[in-house]
Amino acid sequence: MQFYLRFPEWALGRCFKCETYKLVACLGDLTVDGFTIKLFACHPCAWRLEQFHRALRRRHDMAHDLIAAPFLGSHVVLRPGRLEAIKLPERRFRELELASARGEACPPWLLEAAKARWGGQPAGAAGR
Ligand SMILES: [Zn+2]
């Protein structure tokens, strides 16, 4: 129900993703090379895109909430305001360095480890 309220206008049309002709809602504009089209998606496709967006946002928030650093000859991940740390194998630390240099999102294994260690959502994602 909430989902339908977020996209108030559903009409018959073609879903850009699964290419089925059914009820679709406008998700927004897509601009490529200065040409803009409106993206219409069916309910399942729109829902999946929203979940995808949320997952990426959580990873983004988590990445900005964690600090990986060398510590006493090993490597740890810290979360500001929390005493417990996650100890990282050297190769995982290098993986994070590389991901950070490339501007990539927080890798799923770190997200899982952070959830297991500190629980719930990172501070940056509170209330969402
Ligand atoms: Zn679809």
Kindly list the protein residues that place their beta carbon closer than 5 angstroms to ligand 1, a single-atom ion.
15, 17-18, 42, 45
In the block, tokens 């994602």 appear at 125
The torsion defined by the Cα of 92, 96, 102 and 106, in degrees rounded to 10, comes to 110
For the question of whether the overall pTM of this predicted structure is more than 0.85, the answer is no
Domain ranges for the chain: 2-55, 65-118
Give phi and psi for 58, each to the nearest 5: -60, -45
The predicted-structure confidence for 4-57, as pLDDT tens digits, reads as follows: 677 878 999 999 999 999 999 998 888 888 889 899 999 999 999 888 888 878
Tokens of 37: 């089209």
> Taking a C-beta distance cutoff of 8 angstroms, is the pair 24, 10 a contact?
yes
Q: What local confidence, expressed as pLDDT, does residue 55 receive?
A: 82
Residues 75-127 have pLDDT tens digits of 888 887 788 888 999 999 999 888 888 878 778 888 888 888 888 655 444 33
Q: Please tell me the predicted confidence (pLDDT) of residue 21.
A: 97
57 Cα to the center of ligand 1, angstroms: 22
Query: Is residue 63 predicted with pLDDT exceeding 50?
Result: yes
* DSSP reduced 3-state for 62: helix
Nearest to 106 by CA among 121, 95, 118, 120: 95
Give residue 24 CA to ligand 1 midpoint distance, Å.
Answer: 8
Q: Read off the pLDDT band of 74 (50, 70, 90).
A: confident
